[in-house]
Amino acid sequence: MKAAVQYGPKDVRVEDVPEPRCGSGEVKVKIEYCGVCGTDLEIYEGVFGLMFTEGWPKGPKIEGHEAAGTIVEVGPDTRQGYVVGQKVAMNFRSPCGACDYCRDGREHFCEHVAMSGGAFAEYAIYTESAIHLLPAGVSTRTGAMLEPLTVAMHVTDQAAIRPGATVAISGAGTIGLLCLMVALRSGASTVLVSEPVAAKRRLAEQLGATITVDPLNEDIDAVARQATARRGFDSVIEMSGNLRAAQTALTLADKCGTIVLAGVYPHQETIPLSPFDLYASELTIKSAMVSPYLFPRSVNLLSRLDVEPLISATYPLEGIVAAFENHRSGNAIKTLIQPGTA
């Protein structure tokens, strides 16, 4: 089969590799769409922070994790009754269920997590627990948005958004815009979206943002004060991964507000933090890492959301480097790879 194999930083080659074999408790999926994530670009460039931690697998390696497709084989000893031909989306992580973190409701920090084979390929193998049936009427193109939606769900859960709440979101990429959609469905009354790219601000407005602001050319603090009668926001979500934006996020929250730093930041950088300001305003600062136990809820919500406007471009597998460059431009929102096309 064809697959995009990464040998090192900026060294990805589309080549023929052995087709994976389906083992006990596993399901083989023909990949129809796989999204390009911001972390995929950082892995391509060799700068993703987790690459420098113990246990990160060495290359050559097939990446790609935001995937959907069709079941083509079901291995022995599966329990859920999956059959060939079903349309599915997949979690790229299969927690063990036995370690202390899994048993304590923190599966995203599983000590023995199994990572599925990369989906920048024609076929990939998943453990049965990673397979999620798509609802009737939901295409695999939409299904490729499931994993990013689970992250947005986790971020908004962390942000503790209640009906009538005010919310600020920094960064109108895929997950930032999904956070906007989820926040509105959670009952947020006012949602500000900060984003330097004009086209992304316009899309945020079309999706229901109350206010949009260009942080490079407007005074975001002044806009925020005006939007909230000088109080600040109940919840602030930082999704851009920009250190300056993360610093600004700390100033946008109301008394007793919650700030979620959910972007992927340069792993060796820091930002200043005033403990007194935290004390004086009783602020809560959280972060978000992937999406524990959120695939079932996200499958339920996926059919209720129109995510098509977030899909900017589609490339064949052979165009994956061009897809990375398109993502790097900052103008793309969600770029999809179609392994089965040329």
pLDDT in tens, 55-75: 777 879 999 999 999 999 999
pLDDT given for residue 52 in this prediction? 81
DSSP-based three-state secondary structure for 77: coil
- Structural Rg of the chain based on CA atoms: 20
Every domain of the chain with CATH number 3.40.50.720 lies at 149-287
Q: Which of 41-55, 210-224, 307-321 has the lowest mean pLDDT?
A: 41-55
Instruction: Give residue-wise pLDDT tens across range 35-60.
Output: 999 888 888 888 888 878 877 778 79
Element (H, E) at 311: strand 311-316
Every domain of the chain with CATH number 3.90.180.10 lies at 2-145+307-338
Instruction: Give residue-wise pLDDT tens across range 218-275.
Output: 999 999 999 999 999 999 999 999 999 999 999 999 999 999 999 999 888 999 999 9
pLDDT given for residue 331 in this prediction? 81
Question: In CATH, what number does 149-287 get?
Answer: 3.40.50.720
pLDDT band at 342 (very low <50, low <70, confident <90, very high): low
Residue of higher predicted confidence among 46 and 95: 95
What does pTM read for this prediction?
Answer: 0.95
DSSP string spanning 90-131?
A: E-SEE--S-SHHHHTT-GGG-TTPEEPPPSSBSEEEEEGGGE
Question: In CATH, what number does 2-145+307-338 get?
Answer: 3.90.180.10
Average per-residue pLDDT for the chain: 94
The side-by-side arrangement of strands in the sheet containing 253-261 is 211-213, 190-194, 166-170, 233-238, 253-261, 284-287
